[in-house]
Structure 1
Amino acid sequence: MVSSSHEAMHRIFQEDPGVFARTFRTLDLPFPDPVAVSLMPTDLTEIKPTERRVDTLLRIDTESGESHLLIVEAQGEQDPRKPTSWAYYVAHLREKYGIPPILLVTCQDRRTAAWASKPFKIGPPQWPTLTLRALVLGPHNVPVITDPSAAARDIPLATLSAITHGKDPNAPAILKALAVALKTIDEETARIFAELTELGLGKAMAAETWRQLMSVDLSFFRSETSQRLRAEGRAEGRAEGRAEDVLLILGTRGIEVTEAARRRITSCTDLDALRTWLTRAVTVDTVDELFTDSEA
């Protein structure tokens, strides 16, 4: 049975396939950014054999004219049967579409990631017919993003960081950075990534931390948590939380905040003004630029 955390891991790549290239560039694997992405059928069933489906299948076209298929598989634990299934996916898709396939496996724990990263040899030991190698993303190589400014610059990567490091001691700081960053983008996009984070964390202890963070101010968060909070209504708490987020970003970026500016931010109850300041805090060079009429 497919779990909610399993679903969230590969949904991130559907929302922003470019996160694949950006993540692996940090590992010195120079995959180019996509210029066009197509969601492909995930059903690999032939006429008679057993039904086979991949989690996500994307066709990625690049500026150089090269194309490849990205097979995204979320793996929650070691499974000795999986490598032969993955080999089938790769061979079948190469034959069907004539495009080089890449197998990407996402994991939420280091042990599973280490297992999925090793080459799987298929065939007799003295002469393996096929060697399968997957690219693996997990807590061992996805960056830990605790800076709200960095999270705001790449929301999909920050979401992936939050999910893959859900069992890490740094999880609260990672989730706080993502929660702040989500308030700098439009509500519909933020809602998608907020819900993906909740789903991806599953039953990890960090999931409760995430729900508490969402209780500060994510009125667009359409989950059981948000529905309860909208019914209760906490306008004053939302303003205080947003003001704290503005000061957090400025402090993290090393922007000096005068006492007058601090009082102005913390005493403000206008959520729209606070949202504007929060968005500007990601890029301003001085605190005075928060309060200008033009966008910083």
Structure 2
Amino acid sequence: MEALHRDGPPGPLPSPTRSPQHSARPLCSDDPALLVRTFRTLGVHLPVPGSVRLLRRGGGFDLLLRMERPGGDGGYLLALDTTGGNGPDRQGSWGHQLTRLYAIHRLPPVLVALCRDTGTARRAAGPLRIGTPEWAALTVRRLALGPHNVPLVLDPVAAGRDLPLAAFAAITHSRQPHGGAVLSALAAALKSAADGRYADLVPVLAELVATGVAEEPRAARIWHGLAPRPRRRPRNA
């Protein structure tokens, strides 16, 4: 699976002169603006990239994307975290991880926290100030998504029109009574998209949702039974 898993204890910052290009592969090649449109639906305006690359290793987030400007000169990083920032240790590590990402890639990161309840989402929204009350040495701002600001996506056709939004809905509503219906709509949409223009996005979103609902036993069981399975390559391929 391509989604990133969280790192262990923070290590030393790697040299920023090393290029991360070898560790990335194209994603949403036919429609690099897809994720930007999803965030605009949620009221957040991000720059439209010329290309999107999935980073295989990075700052310990569940999904890390390199959103490159047209022509490949600059851009930004999109980091998704499905813990919602539960616990002081996780919230405290965000500042380190974001500065680590910047040191490696020399690109500004945008952090998205996907939360399964409204209270956690509002706490995660922050901002988190690191320093003294008189002087904050570092301020961390997160885009916190939860059941209060991510719309329900209950129809497979609607889910197919915006796969990232449907995946965000599946995670943020997984604790709600209608969580199973949201997961079902997403699973149907991903299976329909497996042979289309967003085929490369299907396993990425499936794994992101699996990570995002892992701590919700009911939702995890439902998703395990519904999620599209990776296709095996023929032995002679």
> Shorter-chain TM-score: which interval?
0.5 to 0.7
Which of 159, 162, 167 is 1:151 aligned to?
159
Residue 102 of structure 1 is matched in structure 2 by 110
Q: Which moved more, 1:196-205 or 1:67-76?
A: 196-205
What runs of 5+ residues in structure 2 fail to find an aligned partner?
6-25, 231-237
Which of 210, 213, 219 is 1:206 aligned to?
219
Amino acid at match of 1:38: R
Residue 119 of structure 1 is matched in structure 2 by 127
Amino acid at match of 1:201: V
Matched, 1:134 2:142: yes
RMSD (CA atoms):
3.6
How far is 1:43 from its partner? 5.1
SS at match of 1:58: strand
Residue 288 of structure 1 is matched in structure 2 by none
How far is 1:150 from its partner? 0.7
What runs of 5+ residues in structure 1 fail to find an aligned partner?
8-13, 45-52, 223-296
Residue 170 of structure 1 is matched in structure 2 by 178
- Aligned residues of 1:167 and 1:204 also touching (Cα < 8 A): no
How do 1:243-258 and structure 2 match up within 5 A? none
Residue 32 of structure 1 is matched in structure 2 by 47
Which of 67, 75, 79 is 1:60 aligned to?
67
Give the 3 Å change call, closer, same or farther, for CA 19–162 of structure 1 in structure 2: farther
Give the 3 Å change call, closer, same or farther, for CA 82–178 of structure 1 in structure 2: closer
Between structures 1 and 2, the one with greater strand share: 2
- Aligned residues of 2:27 and 2:52 also touching (Cα < 8 A): no
Q: Which moved more, 1:133-142 or 1:31-40?
A: 31-40
How do 1:195-274 and structure 2 match up within 5 A? 197-198=209-210, 200-202=212-214, 203-210=216-223, 214=226, 221=229
Give the 3 Å change call, closer, same or farther, for CA 152–211 of structure 1 in structure 2: same
Bigger relative contact order, structure 1 or 2 (CA pairs below 8 A, ≥6 apart): 2
SS at match of 2:183: helix
Amino acid at match of 1:80: P
Q: Which moved more, 1:79-88 or 1:177-186?
A: 177-186
Residues 200-232 of structure 1, C-alpha deviation per residue, up to 9 Å, x if partnerless? 4334323445567x4xxx8x646xxxxxxxxxx
Residues 144-190 of structure 1, C-alpha deviation per residue, up to 9 Å, x if partnerless? 10122211212332123112211112223323322443443336949
Matches of 1:6 and 1:166, distance apart in 2: 21
Between structures 1 and 2, the one with greater helix share: 1
Q: Which has the larger radius of gyration?
A: 1
SS at match of 1:92: helix
Which of 91, 95, 102 is 1:87 aligned to?
95
